């Protein structure tokens, strides 16, 4: 089944289940501002059993009553774990509120749908004043969702690099490096990488400050996996390979959501935006989706673009035409060629002479009907006289006289095509003595 048909079936089943009033499950989770929360959505949450089919379960999450999630919550599905993940960092404006997240699950094997409401209770917490930003190259975001791997990363700083942060070290932000602008790996088997921010209210330790001075020359490079530092072995022993060009240490007194890479940074609205009463939201749900007005949508004028697209080539064509006209008209006046002037003045006479020559040559080689009287009968004699007027005045050539003996066909003769123009043969002569016995046979003479 293709994606479009699956979406349609999912919407129909969702509408049917809501119409029939199926049971809805409510769960609650406590989260804190400026601290990452993550929730793994599994089939067992809906009393389903995974039967080994790829993408057997489909999940859809949104703010209850709205088509999308709040700006600080993200949902991603992992084919590797066959589960969905909700994660995000609550901002300061959501403190002491409850955010209901609606999750609709679809079993693509039985087309059964279930509904669950996740209520996030946001509590106040002191914001971290010192933040460490790092990029881990050998892991994906879904691997960092494992609580055990997060604890291993925290223990590196708690026990070795930053012991002062043992009490309140926590994850502030985490997301896929590809979603934040990094390139996909050349081989699909390689990891995409994950960006992690750790924060604490404690001051940076001396060893952390030394590490910062060590990696400062790498800040001008966006990414480098070939650089090594003095603490490289400490991270690799725990299964983390860091990109030290992306390693940063930041001290801030502001809201932690204003840090780079944080998703809330791209969703801030201007203070002067006009609010309409129809779209005013309750203070309990400040992140509900606000549909833009049609008058606020930008418009694009295509008439100006069409005019510009025709005007610029037209101007270029006009300039080229003017330049060519100037070259051909005004430049020709400065040139004088006697041969060219003679040719243009007498070109008509040249043509007429050529036609006259053609006519004369055609008449010279045209065949003329011969005025030949083939037979002339004389009234006095019975004999006929043949006269060829075309040969009347021709001079007599004895070497080309016609011999009666040459009028017959001879095989192998080189003059077959013109047999009447052959020369006379020599006269016959007797061979040997005429009185010899071999010359007489039966009274006949042998030639």
Domain boundary among the residues 79, 101, 124 is at: 124
Q: How confident is the model at residue 231 (pLDDT cuts 50, 70, 90)?
A: very high
Of 192-206, 265-279, 365-379, give the lowest mean pLDDT range: 265-279
Task: Identify whether 97 is part of a domain.
Answer: yes
Q: Are residues 170 and 55 in the same domain?
A: no
Model confidence over 293-309: pLDDT tens digits?
777 778 888 888 899 99
Q: Is 91 helix (H, G, I), strand (E, B) or coil?
A: coil
Q: Are residues 90 and 178 in the same domain?
A: no
Domain that holds residue 72: 20-124
What domain count does the chain have?
2
Model confidence over 41-90: pLDDT tens digits?
988 889 888 777 777 889 999 999 898 999 899 999 988 888 899 999 99
State how far the Cα of 391 lies from the Cα of 373, in Å rounded to an integer.
11
Residue 279 in tokens? 């779209």
Residue 40 or 426, more confident: 40
Domain boundary among the residues 108, 124, 140 is at: 124
Task: Identify whether 200 is part of a domain.
Answer: yes
Task: Identify whether 183 is part of a domain.
Answer: yes
Model confidence over 347-363: pLDDT tens digits?
888 888 888 888 888 77
Q: Are residues 139 and 250 in the same domain?
A: yes
Q: Are residues 74 and 173 in the same domain?
A: no
Q: Are residues 185 and 164 in the same domain?
A: yes
Q: How confident is the model at residue 338 (pLDDT cuts 50, 70, 90)?
A: confident
Could you tell me which residues come within 8 angstroms of residue 55 by beta carbon, excluding any fewer than 6 positions away?
A: 79, 82, 108
Residue 411 or 304, more confident: 304
Domain boundary among the residues 124, 140, 165 is at: 124
Q: How confident is the model at residue 158 (pLDDT cuts 50, 70, 90)?
A: very high
CB 249 within 8 A of CB 204: yes
Phi, psi at residue 77, to the nearest 5°? -105, 135
Task: Identify whether 442 is part of a domain.
Answer: no
CATH of the domain at 159: 3.30.70
State how far the Cα of 249 lies from the Cα of 206, in Å rounded to an integer.
13
* Max mean pLDDT range (59-63, 399-403, 408-412): 59-63
Residue-wise over 419-434: b if at least 16 C-beta within 10 A, else e? Answer: eeebeeeeeeeeeeee
Task: Identify whether 255 is part of a domain.
Answer: yes
Q: Are residues 168 and 257 in the same domain?
A: yes
Q: Are residues 131 and 205 in the same domain?
A: yes
CATH of the domain at 84: 2.60.40.10
Q: Are residues 130 and 257 in the same domain?
A: yes
Q: Are residues 139 and 74 in the same domain?
A: no
Q: Are residues 86 and 119 in the same domain?
A: yes
Q: Are residues 203 and 153 in the same domain?
A: yes
Q: How confident is the model at residue 395 (pLDDT cuts 50, 70, 90)?
A: low
Q: Are residues 177 and 92 in the same domain?
A: no
């Amino acid at each position: 089944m293709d994606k479009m048909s699956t979406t349609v079936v999912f919407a129909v089943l969702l509408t049917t289940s809501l119409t029939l009033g199926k049971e809805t499950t409510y769960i609650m989770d406590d989260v804190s501002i400026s601290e990452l929360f993550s929730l793994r959505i599994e089939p067992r949450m809906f009393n389903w059993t995974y039967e080994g089919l790829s993408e057997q379960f489909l999940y859809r999450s949104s703010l209850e009553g709205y088509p999308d999630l709040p700006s600080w919550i993200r949902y991603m599905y992992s084919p590797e774990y066959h589960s969905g993940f909700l994660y995000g960092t609550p901002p300061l404006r959501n403190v002491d509120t409850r955010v209901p997240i609606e999750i609709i699950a679809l079993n693509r094997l039985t087309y059964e749908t279930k509904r669950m409401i996740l209520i996030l209770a946001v509590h106040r917490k002191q914001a971290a004043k010192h933040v460490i930003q790092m990029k881990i190259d050998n892991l994906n975001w879904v691997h960092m969702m494992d609580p055990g791997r997060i604890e291993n990363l925290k223990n590196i700083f708690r026990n070795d690099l930053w012991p002062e942060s043992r009490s309140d070290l926590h994850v502030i932000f985490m997301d896929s490096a590809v979603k934040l602008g990094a390139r996909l790996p050349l081989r699909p088997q390689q990891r995409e990488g994950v960006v992690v921010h750790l924060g604490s209210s404690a001051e940076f330790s001396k060893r952390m400050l030394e590490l910062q001075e060590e990696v400062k020359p790498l800040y001008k490079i966006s990414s480098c996996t070939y650089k090594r530092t003095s603490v490289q072995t400490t991270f690799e022993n725990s299964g983390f390979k860091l990109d030290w060009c992306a390693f940063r240490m930041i001290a801030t007194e502001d809201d932690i959501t204003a840090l780079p890479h944080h998703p809330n940074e791209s969703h801030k609205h201007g203070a002067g935006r006009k609010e309409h009463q129809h779209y005013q939201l309750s203070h309990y749900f400040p992140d509900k989706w606000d549909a833009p007005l049609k008058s606020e949508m930008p418009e694009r004028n295509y008439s100006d673009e069409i005019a510009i697209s025709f005007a610029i080539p037209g101007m270029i064509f006009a300039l080229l035409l003017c330049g060519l006209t100037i070259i051909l008209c005004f430049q020709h006046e400065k040139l004088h060629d006697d041969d060219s002037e003679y040719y243009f003045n007498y070109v008509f006479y040249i043509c007429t002479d050529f036609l006259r020559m053609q006519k004369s040559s055609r008449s010279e080689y045209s065949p003329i009907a011969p005025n030949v009287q083939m037979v002339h009968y004389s009234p006095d004699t019975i004999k006929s006289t043949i006269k060829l007027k075309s040969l009347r005045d021709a001079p007599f050539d004895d070497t080309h006289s016609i011999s009666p003996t040459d009028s017959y066909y001879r095989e192998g003769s080189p003059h077959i095509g013109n047999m009447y123009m052959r020369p006379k043969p020599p006269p016959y002569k007797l061979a040997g003595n005429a009185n010899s016995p071999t010359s007489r046979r039966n009274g006949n003479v042998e030639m």
